[in-house]
Structure 1
Amino acid sequence: MSSVFSFIGELKSFLILWFTQLLSTLGSSMTSFALVLWSYQDRGSALTTALLSVCSYAPYVLVSIFAGALSDRWNKKATMLCCDTFAALCTSTVLLLAASGQLHMWHLYLLNGLTGLMNTVQQPAADVAVTLLTPEKHYQRVSGLRSLSYSLNNMLAPALGTALYTLLGLEWVILFDLATFLLAFCSLLLFIPIPQGPKPERTESLLRSTQAGLRYLGENRGILDLILFLAAINLTASMFNAALPALALTRPWGGENVLGLVQSVSGVSMLGGSIAASLLPAPKSRVRVICNTLLLAMSTENFILALGRDLSLWCVGAALGWVGIPIMNANLDALFRSRIPVDIQGRVYAARNSFQFFTIPVGYLLGGFLVDQVFEPLAAALGPDSLWAALFGTGKGAGAAGLFLAMGFLGVATCLLFRRDKRIWALECQG
């Protein structure tokens, strides 16, 4: 018990920030999910609805590098407060438009783009704030707690957002979002002192400051190669997300309930992995943990979903595919925090966002294209007596199953290729 009290005492400010941001993020995710439901009911177009996410995500790829340079210059607490306030104003605008019956899709595209822009600045500031609030000996557990909040958000936001939207309407979902924002804002403003940390030279231009993050990655190839490893994994993972509905909804044993159950099992599995990441001691080799957990994910779920013809097998695949991801994230986060100097973390994290996440929209587009234009037509052309039919069955969804098998091999090959990268393993030898 004394160690627990000591842990709480040393991380009091972080724990307040973590819990209130968890609630605020849950509220924001519920609003995002409710807006997806509203937009689909309004337009009935999957593409129109998907553009909401595109507008929110595009700033990460386009301006993250510059946002990190600004984040390192500015006061972290003030940056977080201002960005969160701006995002709340955008959400309030949606509330007013919805209540007056004047809400249109172009409003949401514009407001999502502005909110995404603010998040691009806010995220690196928040990442550095966590470092400033956390003693190095607690990096592992803090990273596990952040993974836990991500898992809880993935589990609860769709269910709570749907329930509140169905029972009371979009306006009440947004009101809940604004209430959680107010709680997080007041907690950060009044109860969480964040050290400023070292600042870059004020005489340094914005362009030169931006280049510093890129230069750091160029000079520290182990960090850069690890980021590129995650970018390659994100390509496969986003193809997976794009193709999963085409597989789960069309198989003879599939349907909406099956898709929901598989995703729920993934969320529960991530929750278990997050708890494990919070409780496990720091490993001797973080690089080995990162490589092994990603290999586990890539070598299980894709193959089981492709070849399995039973819901219970799919659930096992979902559990195996996602249980190690929070552990991987916790060790990756701890490795970055311990290796990257705090005075440049914002710029490096922002550069990481651009390099690591640009493959996600590419993967979504590629996954959808391959299902619709390549694998489904191929499966239909080969016929019921082919080896393809013996492996994946016939009818709609057989092509998507073939794509999942191909993604399984792609994911495993990616893991084995980067596992041989000596520059990544050299990170274990750095002090």
Structure 2
Amino acid sequence: MQPKLSWKKDFFTVWSGQALSILGSQLVQFALIWFLTVKTGSATVLATASLAGMLPGVVLGPFVGTLVDRWNRRKIMIIADSIVAAASIVLALLFMLGVAENWHIFLVMFIRSLAGCFHSNAMSASTSLMVPNQHLTRIQGVNQMLNGGLNIVSAPLGALLLGAIPVEGILAIDVVTAATAVLPLFFIPIPQPERTHPSLTEMETKVTIWQDFNAGIRYMIGWPGLLIASLGTVMINFTIIPAFSLLPLMVKNFFGGSAIQLGYVESAMGIGTIVGGALLGVWGGFPRKIVTAMVGLMGMGIGTLLLALAPSFSLVLAICGAFVVGLMSPITMGPFFAIIQSSVEPEMQARIFSLLGSIGGGMAPIGLMVAGPVADQAGIQAWFFLGGGLCVVMAVAAFFVPVIMNIENGRGSQAPVRSAEIEPAFSK
């Protein structure tokens, strides 16, 4: 199914609504976390809140992707955003009545995260059907630029709003932004992927969710380039995410800085992300997306190494390193997602995106558990050095691995794995 020639109006109308909805969700996230921080001052409570927001994507993500590939994606996005709005309304009422408890917040964060998992997978898998293939990398650049901008804006805006209105007011803002995401979907069609075997009888196509899930696993395993690249993202999440989670301690203990200096470093990364996303959106990357992604990965590694090697008296060098990491993040991730959208069959995309998110997301907490003791013994810079060095080595090595460099050619001569071909005995 080819996107319409007039794709820009439809896509960016939907995209704009989604962007506002994401901003509302980030404002709510900031408000709830700050409320728990002030109310409890407990690291355990904050860790529980983070876990409530993380578990749906890590544990249920692959099954969510399977359902997205089976169901109508437009309806999924409408229902998911509506559930987010309903959860915000219920929690706002609890705050207004003065009866909101910690477990209410945990439950709402879990529900919002689960609905967001459905929504993000449906939107990512639909993009390749709404946007021409030659523009997918640019769209990913715009998405990365949006994420960088929201990361800069949402925290100070959330703090400003909390000083002016109560938590329930911010929850009300989220309801309005969710409505801006839902309304366009009633008027703009979201294409559905064409089924590969439309001639199969109804009985032959009645496969189980487990078979569809299994099909996604076998699809990834049967594509060596995609599998190896996916394992690379696992290693990045294992090292880079924990490293930057330790950044506040590095700024305070090593550079002797305060919250202001930490803000400089984090802002530099956010500004770099915006610049990198804009650059990718205008440039579009090298003709081969995988080359762009590997150059970006190498740049991320170099930026991380700058942070690791910066002397204690040179916070400026650390700020430069953070900017380079932010700049190269869209150059890395944008083309990689564009490869998935352009090379993976539309009917399989939600499963692949959710598998990547689940596997990668699951490695971040494991990495944190390992990084803490290592940083205590060897210094935080050692973990930054490990993460940066690993990125550079993986990027260089990828150029000598044909299955990775040819990933854009698809699965080659291998026949795609179809749900109806997986363990047919289950359907008997």
CA distance in 1, matches of 2:94, 2:189: 36
For the pair 1:412 / 2:392, whether they are aligned, the reply is: yes
Q: Which amino acid aligns with 2:193?
A: G
What is aligned with 2:125? 128
Residue 45 to residue 8, structure 1, CA distance change in 2 (3 Å): farther
Within-5 A mapping of 1:78-117: 78-117=75-114
1:8 CA drift (Å): 9.6
Q: Report the secondary structure of 1:102's partner residue.
A: coil
Deviates more, 1:291-300 or 1:208-217: 291-300
Within-5 A mapping of 1:242-321: 242-308=245-311, 309-321=313-325
CA distance in 2, matches of 1:353, 1:26: 21
8 A contact 1:88–1:178 mirrored in 2? yes
Q: How many residues align structurally?
A: 400
Which residue among 55, 60, 63 is the counterpart of 1:63? 60
Q: Which amino acid aligns with 2:148?
A: S
What is aligned with 2:189? 193
8 A contact 1:72–1:199 mirrored in 2? no
CA distance in 1, matches of 2:404, 2:68: 27
What is aligned with 1:139? 136
Within-5 A mapping of 1:25-44: 25-44=22-41
1:305 CA drift (Å): 4.5
1:344 CA drift (Å): 1.4
8 A contact 1:229–1:418 mirrored in 2? no
8 A contact 1:253–1:310 mirrored in 2? no
What is aligned with 1:425? 405
Which residue among 161, 166, 170 is the counterpart of 1:164? 161
1:172 CA drift (Å): 1.9
Residue 408 to residue 327, structure 1, CA distance change in 2 (3 Å): closer
What is aligned with 2:357? 353
Q: Which amino acid aligns with 2:336?
A: L
8 A contact 2:310–2:317 mirrored in 1? no
CA distance in 2, matches of 1:67, 1:49: 26
Which residue among 400, 403, 419 is the counterpart of 2:383? 403
CA distance in 1, matches of 2:113, 2:212: 22
Encode CA deviations 1:332-378: one digit per residue, 9 max, x unaligned: 12111111011211222222222232211212222233334x23xxx
Encode CA deviations 1:292-328: one digit per residue, 9 max, x unaligned: 2111111223433443322222211111111011122
> 5+ residue gaps in structure 2?
197-203, 413-428
CA distance in 2, matches of 1:288, 1:261: 31
8 A contact 1:65–1:350 mirrored in 2? yes
What is aligned with 1:379? none
CA distance in 2, matches of 1:235, 1:16: 36
8 A contact 2:298–2:392 mirrored in 1? yes
Encode CA deviations 1:244-298: one digit per residue, 9 max, x unaligned: 1111122354111111111011101100011111111352222121112111111
Q: CA RMSD in A?
A: 2.1
Encode CA deviations 1:200-240: one digit per residue, 9 max, x unaligned: 77411111111111111011111111111111111112211
CA distance in 1, matches of 2:47, 2:314: 30
What is aligned with 2:334? 330
Which residue among 218, 231, 236 is the counterpart of 1:233? 236
What is aligned with 1:77? 74
Percent identity between the aligned chains?
Answer: 25
> 5+ residue gaps in structure 1?
1-6, 376-398
For the pair 1:175 / 2:179, whether they are aligned, the reply is: no
Q: Which amino acid aligns with 1:198?
A: E
Q: Which amino acid aligns with 1:60?
A: G
Q: Which amino acid aligns with 1:196?
A: Q
Encode CA deviations 1:116-143: one digit per residue, 9 max, x unaligned: 2222222221112212211222212211
Within-5 A mapping of 1:204-215: 204-215=207-218
8 A contact 2:67–2:209 mirrored in 1? yes
1:416 CA drift (Å): 4.0
Q: Report the secondary structure of 2:254's partner residue.
A: coil
CA distance in 1, matches of 2:306, 2:285: 31
What is aligned with 1:387? none
TM-score norm. by structure 2 comes to: 0.88
8 A contact 2:149–2:274 mirrored in 1? yes
What is aligned with 1:395? none
CA distance in 2, matches of 1:123, 1:63: 14
TM-score norm. by structure 1 comes to: 0.87
Deviates more, 1:58-67 or 1:249-258: 249-258
CA distance in 2, matches of 1:417, 1:136: 27
Encode CA deviations 1:158-183: one digit per residue, 9 max, x unaligned: 11111101222212211211111111
What is aligned with 2:422? none
Q: Report the secondary structure of 2:246's partner residue.
A: helix
